[in-house]
Amino acid sequence: MAIATEASNNSLISVRDLRVWFELKRWGMIHAGYVKAVDGVDFDLHPGEAIGIVGESGCGKTTLMRTILGLIQPENGKIIFNGGDISKLDDKEMQTYRSEVGYVQQDPYGALPPFMDLQRILEEPMIIHGIKSKKERMERIKDVLREIKMTPVEDFLDKFPHMLSGGQQQRAVIARAMVLEPKLLVADEPVSMLDASVRVEILRLMQDLQTSHNLAVLYITHDLSTVRYFTERIFVMYAGKLVEKAKVDELIREPQHPYTQALMTATPDPDYENALTYKQVPPGEPPSLVNPPPGCRYHPRCPHMIEGLCDVEDPPRFEPTPHHFNWCWLYDEGQKWS
């Protein structure tokens, strides 16, 4: 890519202190505050790595994703892709960037144009990105379809989206994202609309693509149990901020932030015992992002809230065990609570 280098580490994408605010206006012109959808997010994603961003609706995970895709301009902070800051790209460079980042939408039926057949759907990105030879395009389409196991290829080329099952539609969406051979795949709840028996099939497919293409995957979801098997690291997000970052096994074995712990308790595994007991759920609901609570944003719901600290000061990043980060005052100076 013809983008000047700025950062010099080996990560594919680095997000630094990213803030995405949406301005609120009264009467259409008077400034009335901001919705702080993403408020200070940092992370690095390495080539070939899959990470899961887990959070509830309204926590800013979709806004984060859209900013990474270059659809929203951040208020502050940087997204560095392959060494270049994406906010400084001109139109042409932006087009190149978009060819390197694939996007898998949540609702496959809504994401596929109903009036195009599969061949046309897969050809479209290549036409836009200037692959002029029809032969080359057809070759690529066939390769991609073979890779996502929609075979025999000829049977699918003239199918319209409504002729495909839910799982096949989601495959078509993945194929479209893969057709330009991106380095990063951003998937927004890719299986939430699918049936249980198909979900694993799609996730396994994405995992295969990840290994065979050394593809980085950013997997956005609210479901901890699916990310467990298909990502290497999990980031937990709450009200526009990251609250915990860790390797999957460590996060599942020993969740540190009280919010992560609440999520873990609330996620059921199929078990008869579930019906016999009530679940421990933190009271209240996620805060408004227009006027988030001061200090830690989780403190009004947190059972371990320290008065005079959690409700006043924003928690910095703590690292109680190597490479397991959290933003919670309970881990200050080794005051680990059990």
Partner 1 sequence: MPENNKLLRVEDLKLYFSTNMGAVQAVDEVNLELGYNEAIVVLGESGCGKTSFARGVLRLLPRNVDTYSGRVYLDNIDIMELNDDQFRRDIRWEQMSMVPQAAMNALNPVLKIGDQVAEPLISHQSMEKEQAWEKAREMVEHVGVPGDFLNRYAFELSGGMRQRVILAMALVTTPLLVFLDEPTSALDVLTQANIFNVLKRLKKELKVSFILITHDVATSSELADRVAVMYAGQIVEVGHASTFFKAPLHPYSEMLMKSVPKLKVEEEPTFITGHPPSLLGPPKGCRFAERCPKRFDKCSQEPPIFMAKGHKVKCWLYE
Q: Is it true that the peptide bond before 47 is cis, omega within 30 degrees of 0?
A: no
CB of 269 to partner 1, least distance (A): 5
Helix (H, G, I), strand (E, B) or coil at 43: strand
Stretch near partner 1 under the rule CB under 8 A, chosen from 109-117, 133-141, 150-158, 190-198: 190-198
Rule CB under 8 A: is residue 142 a binding residue for partner 1? no
CA separation for the pair 112, 72 (Å, rounded): 22
Residue 321 phi, psi (nearest 5) = -125, 150
If one asks whether residue 226 binds partner 1 (CB under 8 A), the answer comes out as: yes
User: How many angstroms separate the CA atoms of 197 and 182, rounded?
Assistant: 28
Asked if 159 interacts with partner 1 (CB under 8 A), we say no
Q: Does 262 bind partner 1 (CB under 8 A)?
A: yes
272 binds partner 1 (CB under 8 A): yes
Segment 285-304, which members bind partner 1 (CB under 8 A)?
Answer: 285
Question: Does residue number 281 form part of the binding site for partner 1 (CB under 8 A)?
Answer: yes
Contact (Cβ atoms closer than 8 angstroms) between residue 274 and residue 268: yes
Q: How far is the CB of 239 from partner 1 (least distance, A)?
A: 13
Closest separation between CB of residue 263 and partner 1, Å? 6
Q: Torsion angle, CA of 61/46/217/156, rounded to 10 degrees?
A: 150
Nearer to partner 1, 282 or 320 (CB): 282
Spell out the residues 6+ positions from residue 228 whose beta carbon is closer than 8 angstroms to its own. 234, 248, 252
**In this chain, which of 201, 232, 311, 332 binds partner 1, going by CB under 8 A?**
201
- Say how far apart CA 188 and CA 19 lie, in whole Å: 20
Contact status: 165 vs partner 1 (CB under 8 A)? yes
Q: Summarize as ranges the residues that interact with partner 1 (CB under 8 A).
A: 56-57, 165-166, 195-201, 204, 222-226, 228-229, 252, 262-272, 274-275, 278-279, 281-282, 285
